[in-house]
Amino acid sequence: MSGQIIGYRRVSSEGQNLDRQLDGLQLDHVFEEKISGKDANRPELQRMVEYARKGDTVVVHSLDRLGRSLLDLRKIVADLNGKGVAVRFIKEGMEFDAGSTDPFKALMLNMLGSFAEFERSLIKSRQAEGIKLAKQKGVYKGRSKCLKPEQAEEAKARVASGVPKSRVAKDLGVTRQTLYKYLEGVKA
């Protein structure tokens, strides 16, 4: 009996789309999340690692979808391989089988993982530069304000009583998107 083909799909933020990743592949189970790949502390990633069994193959669109840190990427692949699970990266055309000692594959994982980590560092650096310039111009507003639990309850009650959401958001000093997240039960 052959194992399952398990897909793992990840994008960094809610506004991004997962559709292009693993499109057209026949998968037995898929784990997906919209969260940064900066570290391995991701709920669906952890669930996927726990779910995978000996003989399974985990399929990921590309190395950077599994991890943006070389250490995390190597650990995730090693943990899965240690359980007897193969890991396949579609974009790079690479597969890491349990028990494989191919030095070329190990080199490629390290090199490509280093590039993913480097790219994340560049993104963070450009973001910091942009924030600094925006602050100098006086247009940087910072992160959206979070609501205290009592404010979130007040917002829910006001919306339920018919007060327009835009008015509630303005009164609380948050964006409508932030208010919507609280109304959906997701803390911003």
| 3-state SS, one letter per residue, for the chain | CCCCEEEEEEECCCCCCCCCCCCCCCCCEEEEEECCCCCCCCHHHHHHHHHCCCCCEEEECCHHHHCCCHHHHHHHHHHHHHCCCEEEECCCCEEECCCCCCHHHHHHHHHHHHHHHHHHHHHHHHHHHHHHHHHHHCCCCCCCCCCCHHHHHHHHHHHHCCCCHHHHHHHHCCCHHHHHHHHCCCCC
Please state, rounded to an integer, the average pLDDT across all residues of the chain.
88
Q: Which CATH code for domain 5-114? A: 3.40.50.1390
| For residue 145, pLDDT beyond 70 | no
What are the tens digits of pLDDT across the range 19-64?
889 988 999 999 999 888 888 889 999 999 999 999 999 999 999 9
Active site residue ranges: 12
What are the tens digits of pLDDT across the range 56-91?
999 999 999 998 899 999 999 999 999 999 999 999
